């Protein structure tokens, strides 16, 4: 009983955190050709409702997007970059590089 009482609040916090934590995905954007491309892509992604943070790297040809899972999804993000002229795909996570898994 004592154990249950001490563990239950921790579980509740974990479940709540999982619920509210924004999702982060990495999009591969191979169409970038110069250092101003990331600006266009960042603008396009930032406009998507639910997106909270965007980092675009020209060197890596990728965009790391953080968004509210309940408001948008990967398909909408891909559409946003594609509409801006940069088709993208979701990059699989690479746990060996220390990227947190789902
Ligand atoms: Cu460019």
pTM: 0.73
> What is the residue-level pLDDT of the chain in tens, covering all 102 positions?
565 566 666 655 555 555 667 899 999 999 999 999 999 999 999 999 999 999 999 999 999 999 999 999 999 999 999 999 999 999 997 665 555 555
8 is a domain residue: no
Domain CATH code at residue 71: 3.30.70.100
CA–centroid distance, residue 76 to ligand 1 (Å):
22
CA–centroid distance, residue 12 to ligand 1 (Å):
46
User: Within 13 Å and on the Cβ side, how many CA atoms surround 80?
Assistant: 23
Range list of H helices, 21-71: 37-46
Domain that holds residue 43: 22-95
CA–centroid distance, residue 46 to ligand 1 (Å):
18
Number of domains in the chain: 1
66 is a domain residue: yes
Of residues 92, 70, 67, the one with CA closest to residue 80: 67
42 is a domain residue: yes
CA–centroid distance, residue 24 to ligand 1 (Å):
24
56 is a domain residue: yes
1 is a domain residue: no
31 is a domain residue: yes
CA–centroid distance, residue 16 to ligand 1 (Å):
41
CB 30 within 8 A of CB 62: no
């Amino acid at each position: 009983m004592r154990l249950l009482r001490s563990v239950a609040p921790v579980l509740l916090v974990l479940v709540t955190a999982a619920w509210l934590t924004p999702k982060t995905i990495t999009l591969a954007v191979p169409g970038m050709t110069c250092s101003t491309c990331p600006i266009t892509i960042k603008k396009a992604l930032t406009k998507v409702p639910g997106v909270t943070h965007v980092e675009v790297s020209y060197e890596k040809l990728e965009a790391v997007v953080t968004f509210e899972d309940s408001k948008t999804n990967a398909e909408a993000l891909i559409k946003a970059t594609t509409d801006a002229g940069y088709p993208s795909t979701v990059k699989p996570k690479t746990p060996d590089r220390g990227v947190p898994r789902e």
